[in-house]
Structure formats: C-alpha cells, structure tokens
Amino acid sequence: MIAIGCDHGGINLKEIIKKFLEEKGLEFKDFGTYSTDSCDYPDYAKAVCDAIVSGECEKGILVCGTGIGMSIAANKIDGIRAAHVTDTYSARMTKEHNDANIICLGERITGCDLALEIVNAYLCAEFQGGRHQKRIDKLMSFQK
C-alpha cells in the first residue's frame, strides 16, 4: 500500500499521481489534503509518515509546492527516510542505496510527465542492502 499526501501547493500533481497509480493497478491511500484551501504541509507529512511507521503503508509520496517543506517535515519523524527528488536517477538510487520510504515532489518545480517517471523509477527500484544497510543503520541511530 502506498500512502500519498499533499498540501494545497501539491494537490494537482497528487491527483495526477493517483490516476497513474490507478492505471498501474497499485493500491494507495490518500491522506489529503482534499481541497485547494490553504493548509499546513506538516499535517499531511505527519499523516503519511504515521501510516508508514505503523506498517499500514510501505511507501509514501508527498507533494507540496517545492517538495522541500514535505521532506523537512517527514525527516523529523522517527523511522522515516524521505528523499526530495527532481530526477529519475535520484529516485531510483534513493530506493537502492538509501531505502527511502518516502519521496517528495514539488508541483511548482517538476512537470507532470517527469514527475510520473520519477514516481515510476522509485516504485520499480529495490533496496540493494549489503554495505548500504550499515550506513542506514548509522543514520537511523541519529533519530533515536
């Protein structure tokens, strides 16, 4: 299950990503926001992160205007490794090497077609383990 969330600055791209996931037959849960009314991105970052930390969802996608606020907020939560990505190579590598459990996108930064390629690259990638696990163990110890 993929958790997806956004603020008012990311709602259009979130809807496009949801359609993409539906077409691919991938299950997702939308944690809002559900309107273009101004809101606070940390609230939606927290909802998506909680779903991942609890085990309800395995991966998350967060969208705001730049992707930056969502990534800062998500990385404050214990157990989360959120990557702000603007290219497909980074989207793949952040799963393979960092085992990122969330990617963050900026609707005002990344065009729709590229954003969907980024989502696809992230979802298709697999964590490589090995030497990367040791590094993740180290960085995760910073949160405890």
Give the torsion through C-alpha atoms of 76, 78, 84, 85, to 10 deg. Answer: 180
Q: For residue 46, which phi and psi values (nearest 5 degrees)?
A: -65, -45
Query: Contact region for ligand RB5 (CB under 6 A) — 62-70, 74-82, 88-96, 111-119?
Result: 62-70
Task: Determine, following the binding rule CB under 6 A, whether residue 44 of this chain makes contact with ligand RB5.
Answer: no
Q: How far apart are CA 45 and CA 76, in angstroms?
A: 10
Q: For the chain, where are the alpha helices, taking DSSP H only?
A: 11-23, 41-53, 68-74, 88-96, 112-124, 131-141
64 annotated active-site: yes
Mask: binding to ligand RB5, 122-141, rule CB under 6 A, as x and -? --------------------
97 annotated active-site: yes
Shortest spacing between CB 4 and ligand RB5, in angstroms = 15
Q: Which of 6, 49, 64, 104 is catalytic?
A: 64
Report, as residue numbers or ranges, the catalytic residues.
64, 97
